[in-house]
Amino acid sequence: MKRPYAIVKNRILINTALLYCDTLEKLLRSVLFEDIVCRYLRRLKSKTPRRYEELSLALGGDGDENGLLDKILTLLRMLSTNRAEELVTLSPAFASALERRCLLREFVEGLYDYWRHFERYLVLPAPSGTKAPQADLYHSQFVTINEELKMLILRLYRTVITNLTGESIRVYRQLPAATNLGVLTERIDWDIPSEDYHGLKEVPFIRYVLFEPPIIFYPRQNKRRGAFIELPENPLKGLKLSSEEWFCYPAKVGRLTIFIFFHRDFASLGFSLSNLFELADREAISGQRPEAVLVFGGPPVGREGISFFYEDKENDFVVGYVVGSEDADYFGYLKKTTLTLHNLIMIKRGSLPLHGAGVHIELKDGSAANLIIVGDSGAGKSETLEAFRVLAEDHLSEMIIIFDDMGSLALSRDDILCYGTEVGAFLRLDDLSPGFAFAEIDRSIFMNPHLTNARIVIPVAYYHQVVMGHPVDIFLYANNYEQVDRERPIIEFFPSPDEALGVFRSGARMAKGTTDEKGLVHSYFANPFGAPQRKEAHEILARQFFEAMFERQVKVGQVRTRLAIDGYEQDGPLAAAQAIFDLIRNL
């Protein structure tokens, strides 16, 4: 960013290298403060014209908006250092207005709330060509800038209210009054595959992230629609991204590095990646070539759809592309397009991508196993992991999350190893145990908590555990729609690779409204993210891995989570978790 700030819709991005305030005087005379007051006055005039007229008359206005703005700015500056009684003497022009203190207080409270209704982001660009971003002092400055701004804004608000009313503050609310989230960015040269990608080179990389909980974002969509479409040509050819409007989050997606470029219109989604994917260090960026890039928020590509990908065979590279429309304003598009790129690369490398959850479980009696549950969105995989946590006190000695949504299998000489992709999880609030999300509020990012399919992005794993490679002991398909009875137990094992492949290949589940699907639906291997796009290669890999699992005595079956059956949203995964514990004890 080369400008001190940018206001785009309900977002404010502040470049603290150009707009730094460490005193009330600087804050009150900043261009951003003046702009916010001006915008609030216009909002007041539009939404509550009667109150606007009262305020204008109290300040001796004649209908001139600029004149009213100047008077309010002057009054606020004077109230930051003087009590109202003193102002009557110092500036008699405000005597009439100060007789309407309730009106003025309502204005100040409204202005404060108006500021806080924005999504507020702090951006600290690192000086190019220096070692500043690596310096501890620079890190400390990055962390303290937002805290200092927060205290400055709170001090201004409290001082103005106290001086205006003559009453001291009795209840101090330490609200996140500055920014919700901050990033330190740096322009870094990386190994660009070809001329087609030169339009990405000026975009700054996110090096460090800071957020002030609780964070609640309100994306314009709350579910994902449509498929991921392969493009015949590179969508980045001729595209140039502005360093003013774009950021790059260098993500460690399992064993891969993927550079995720996102437009500032989708800042809430892009910055939330810090709770989902490990942030790559400088050594993984400088002079290095990632395995893939994703551009999120670009111009239309001339085809219907939202999410696309392109395989650059000449450069052994994969490109993801999401159109910058209002329909794309959902975190699921950012997450799933990234994971689709991961899966395409895994298939090409001979690993089998999995849509599911992987976990290492150690029980209190010493028995342990590495478990994988495969299932599409809403099948109950994440909810079963949550049920493990609920039952942890009575049963668990240790639980390590390997992956919560997407992983992969690889063959070693002796074992079948599973790897993860994410250090966080993107979960439905409705499917979590009561109180869990609020217990984790200090680490979580909430999205549309007032709507159906409300979501939370929360850290759940450590990167070194995600990529270390865990031998698989139990491999289950998540069946969310069948009731349990004598003929259909909670856990049922398959007698052969062919029968197992039939169930996994069918990918049956009852849709729960997390996408635009309804009723009993099927998705190839419960994984619409790369598997159907490379079906022929995936089919060969699937048979190879399933036969290997049966040869190496891996328990392969299905678990009936009953998540889609009314009344079993909580009890179904709990019963499944208990059955899995019993299975592990008897291995």
At residue 83, the 3 state secondary structure works out as coil
Q: Are residues 30 and 54 in the same domain?
A: yes
Has residue 455 been placed in a domain? no
Amino acid at 572: G
Name the domain boundary from 348, 368, 390.
348
In this structure, what token pair is assigned to residue 306?
A: 């939202």
Q: Are residues 120 and 246 in the same domain?
A: no
pLDDT of residue 157: 96
Has residue 270 been placed in a domain? yes
Does the pTM surpass 0.85? The reply is: yes
pLDDT of residue 512: 64
Q: Are residues 311 and 223 in the same domain?
A: yes
pLDDT of residue 103: 95
Smallest Cα–Cα separation from 161: which of 58, 80, 78, 68? Answer: 80
Distance between CA atoms of 323 and 321, rounded to whole angstroms?
7
How would you write the pLDDT of the chain (587 residues) with one tens digit per residue? 789 999 998 999 999 989 999 999 999 999 999 999 999 999 999 999 999 999 999 998 776 888 999 999 999 999 999 999 999 889 998 998 999 999 999 999 999 999 999 999 999 998 766 665 566 667 778 888 989 999 999 999 999 999 999 998 899 888 889 998 999 999 999 999 999 999 999 999 999 999 888 899 999 998 888 889 999 999 999 999 999 999 999 999 999 999 999 999 999 999 999 999 999 999 999 999 999 999 999 999 999 999 999 999 999 999 999 999 999 999 999 999 999 999 999 999 999 999 999 999 999 999 999 999 999 888 888 789 888 988 998 999 999 999 989 999 999 988 999 999 999 999 888 767 667 777 778 889 999 998 888 999 999 899 999 999 999 999 999 999 999 999 999 999 999 999 999 999 999 999 865 555 678 999 999 999 999 999 999 999 999 999 999 999 999 999 999 999 999 988 999 999 999 999 999 98
Has residue 446 been placed in a domain? no
Name the domain boundary from 102, 136, 165.
165
Q: Are residues 361 and 343 in the same domain?
A: no
Owning domain of residue 104: 5-165
DSSP annotation of 222 reads -
Pair 294, 320: CB distance under 8 Å: yes
Residue with tokens 């790129």: 341
Smallest Cα–Cα separation from 182: which of 232, 217, 130, 144? Answer: 144
Q: How many domains does the chain have?
A: 3
Q: Are residues 339 and 357 in the same domain?
A: no
Q: Are residues 302 and 334 in the same domain?
A: yes
Residue with tokens 């946590």: 389
Q: Are residues 465 and 551 in the same domain?
A: yes
Amino acid at 375: G
Has residue 26 been placed in a domain? yes
Residue 202 maps to which CATH number? 3.40.449
Distance between CA atoms of 408 and 342, rounded to whole angstroms?
9
Q: Are residues 226 and 306 in the same domain?
A: yes
Residue 536 maps to which CATH number? 3.90.228.20
Distance between CA atoms of 275 and 213, rounded to whole angstroms?
12
Q: Are residues 146 and 187 in the same domain?
A: no
Has residue 436 been placed in a domain? no
Percent of the chain with pLDDT over 90: 79
Name the domain boundary from 165, 198, 221.
165
Pair 284, 188: CB distance under 8 Å: no
